[in-house]
Amino acid sequence: MGVLMLIVGVFVMVLCMCTAVLRWNEMRYRKKGLPPGTMGWPVFGETTEFLKQGPNFMKNQRASRYGSFFKSHILGCPTVVSMDPELNRYILMNEAKGLVPGYPQSMLDILGKCNIAAVHGSTHKQMRGALLALISPTMIRQQLLPKIDEFMRAFLSNWDNQVINIQDRTKEMAFLSSLKQIASAESSSVAQQFMPEFFKLVLGTLSLPIDLPGTNYRRGFQARQNILKILGQLIEKRRDSEESHKDMLGYLMRNDDNNRHKLSDDEIIDQIITILYSGYETVSTTSMMAVKYLHDHPTVLEELRKEHMGIRERKRADEPIEWNDLKSMRFTRAVIFETSRLATIVNGVLRKTTQEMELNGYVIPKGWRIYVYTREINYDPFLYPDPLAFNPWRWMDKGLESQNYFLIFGGGTRQCPGKELGIAEISTFLHYFVTRYRWEEVGGEKLMKFPRVEAPNGLHIRVSSY
């Protein structure tokens, strides 16, 4: 009996301490004028609930209690969540008014402080200029599309009569395709060493910035250090060589007067990591989900295959995809947009206040993050009738792509600069996949939609020749 009383006493004491800690943490953020909401535990905040519950955390537990604008503490930062479409557009369009990129500390540490997503003002303008020069329509047409076509043609060979994990394959595809565009000559020799480090880096970007052994943050940060060595050695070897390279790294390293956006080695490395990271997430996941949705919607697959077989009929068997072929893939573009919308590949973006400001009638302190949550816009029945249906035909009207709430690729001055390059990669992948193969799912694996779209146990398909 005495032991039982002791256990009950300890339990009550722990409960009281936890309640007191939670109440103390709430009092710290009870400044007059702040939005409603809860802050959770010190340091950890409500990060666990945010990552585990995702949309339910936003929509059911928070929005139903506090409306579309509320405070929380996620990924190590006091954060205001905005789910209001009009306000979200204002936030994204007004970087000059003190609403700058506010990515979590884990992402800044792992992607590097010189990456384009972290800088603003004149530095952002210079970095964006350097990036846009690498992936302009002219560069895609003349330099990048031939590399993408050569890579996809080889990558998608010999899949016949195999059961493959399309999630793993699209991850490899997105990484290796980008690496070939960045460093054509060396991509094969560094890929085996680079790829596992890169996958660890990606996992670490969405984690609590707690530097302890075994955490995703520690593994991600260590992976960054290893990648810095790989890229540093690559840059050194290129400097020692007199050979010229017509790839992204070659362009970034140019010292001639035609290069208006000269960068330091640190900036070049962070730029490369950013290109790999941003392209990897969107291209791999969109490609995987397109394969999933096409399997589930045979009429869409039939229309897509018709478009691509028409292109192939005009070409010799070994003739590559060219710029005019890419521009003619109107239904393919619609499939990519509809996949991005329905799967919600990107749930939102983060901004940070550089000064205390008023938003939506509330005071937002300096240094707070604002999570512009765009997921619900993708399911708005006024913008997208029958929003849960996979209907690429809705995008055949060009007006939908240009409407104010089209935030699939970001918004304002931060719209994804690699949008057209990503579309080119996914389109070329789909071209060779649907013209060479048919497939069926095996296993019926579960899909997660937050914080990343992924199949925890993989997404397996049985592939046969078409």
- Counts for the chain of helices (H) and strands (E), in that order: 19, 10
Answer with the residue of higher pLDDT: 32 or 317.
317
Q: Which residues does the annotation place in the binding site for heme? A: 416
Res. 10: pLDDT tops 50 = no
| Both tokens assigned to 304 | 């897509």
CB of 220 closer than 8 Å to CB of 106: yes
Nearest to 143 by CA among 57, 217, 248: 248
Q: Convert 56-74 to b/e letters by CB count within 10 Å (16 or more is b).
A: ebbbeebbeebebbbbbbb
Q: Give tens-digit pLDDT for 423-451.
A: 999 999 999 999 999 999 997 778 888 77
Q: Which residues does the annotation place in the binding site? A: 416
Q: What is the pLDDT of residue 448?
A: 83
Rg of the chain's alpha carbons, rounded to an integer?
A: 24
Indicate the pTM of the whole model.
0.86
Burial tier of 256 (Cβ tally within 10 Å: 0-12, 13-18, 19+): exposed
Q: What is the pLDDT of residue 323?
A: 95
**Beta strand pairing status for 357-359 and 362-364?**
antiparallel
CB of 279 closer than 8 Å to CB of 422: yes
Q: Residue 354 and residue 99: Cα distance in Å, rounded?
A: 7
| Collapsed DSSP state (helix, strand, coil) of residue 213 | coil
Answer with the residue of higher pLDDT: 227 or 126.
227
Most confident of 50-64, 82-96, 101-115, 155-169: 155-169
**Residue 293 one-letter amino acid:** Y
| Both tokens assigned to 450 | 């937050």
Q: Give tens-digit pLDDT for 104-151.
A: 888 888 988 777 766 666 777 777 777 778 888 899 999 999 999 999
**Nearest-10 crossing angle of helices 187-205, 216-240:** 150
Mean residue pLDDT of the chain comes to: 84
**Beta strand pairing status for 460-465 and 162-165?**
antiparallel
Res. 21: pLDDT tops 60 = no
Confidence of residue 409 (pLDDT cuts 50, 70, 90): low
Q: What is the pLDDT of residue 24?
A: 45
Q: Beta partners for 33?
A: none
Give CA separation, 336 vs 51, 154, 289, in Å: 26, 22, 9
Three-point CA angle 166, 170, 175, nearest 5°: 155
Q: Residue 364 and residue 372: Cα distance in Å, rounded?
A: 14
Count CB-CB contacts under 10 A for residue 90: 17
Answer with the residue of higher pLDDT: 369 or 416.
369
In order of their start, the domains of the chain are 84-465 (1.10.630.10)
Q: Residue 395 and residue 401: Cα distance in Å, rounded?
A: 7
Q: Give tens-digit pLDDT for 321-377.
A: 999 999 999 999 999 999 999 998 888 888 888 898 998 889 999 989 998 888 888
| Collapsed DSSP state (helix, strand, coil) of residue 441 | strand
**Beta strand pairing status for 99-101 and 162-165?**
unpaired
